[in-house]
A = this chain, B = another copy of it.
Amino acid sequence: MDDETGDSVPPDAKAEIAEAIGAALAKHGYERLTTAKIAAEYDKSEAGLYYHYDSKDEMIAAFLDGAAAAQAAELTDDDREDSETRLRAACERLFVAPGDERAGLHVAVMELLSHAPYNETLRDPLRELEGATLDALADIIREGVGDGTFREVDPDATAAFLLAAADGSTGFHVALEMDVGADLRRGWSAYVDSLLADG
């Protein structure tokens, strides 16, 4: 979990930069994210960033790699719960509301996704991030189908549909702040209900 020495080490420069990028992305989004704003969240200068990375997008790509790993870990964490509980917990995490501390970052990821067609550097890390989430959801659903919690639904189709709904809610619910919070919750909750066996 630490470096080769096994000792607890202070965060290295790259980890500090990743943290700065996360904070700056959440505050400003991607288009308005400048290296000056990243440096403002970092305790060093703008030029210092370029000692560790060759371009701004490489820094963001590194941040996204970390985010994919963290996302996979969090959705896989609660192995001891039953699959309905795990799926509902995943939905609580993935459907964010305006004001949630993750809201800014979700909007920024949405913006990054929309830039993927034009940005080769970001494409692969974003595929990892979305793929990790998709896999985690499919695993939960597959387990629930296997043990009889859920009906015989297609785990991949169900996971894709559910992740799409969570991602898409970020646009009109979070970014536009349209008054649909209660509708969305009833929507995903009813969807999970509809997956249950015997229902």
Interface set of A (CB-CB < 8 Å, partner B): 28-32, 107-108, 110-111, 113-118, 123, 126-127, 130-131, 134, 153-154, 156-173, 175-176, 178, 180, 182-184, 186-188, 190-191, 194
Name the residue on B nearest A153 (C-beta): B190
Further 9 A-B residue pairs, CB within 8 A, beyond A29-B114, A154-B186, A161-B187: A32-B118, A113-B171, A123-B176, A134-B172, A156-B180, A157-B182, A160-B183, A164-B171, A164-B184
- A49–B162 Cα distance when bound, in Å, is 42
Are B160's CB and A187's CB within 8 A? yes
Interchain nearest-CB distance for A132 vs B (Å):
11
Assuming the contacts A118-B29, A187-B160, asked whether A171 and B107 have C-beta atoms less than 8 A apart, the reply is no
Query: Contacts of A184 on B, CB cut-off 8 Å?
Result: 157, 160-161, 164
List of B residues within 8 angstroms of A176 by Cβ:
113, 116, 123, 126-127, 130
A117 to B159, CA, bound (A): 28
Interface centre among A167, A171, A173 (most CB of B within 10 A): A171
**In angstroms, how far is the closest chain B Cβ from the Cβ of A186?**
4
The answer on a CB contact under 8 Å between B113 and A172 is yes
Q: Top 9 A-B pairs ranked by shortest CB distance?
A: A168-B168, A161-B187, A167-B168, A111-B114, A157-B186, A164-B168, A113-B171, A160-B183, A165-B165
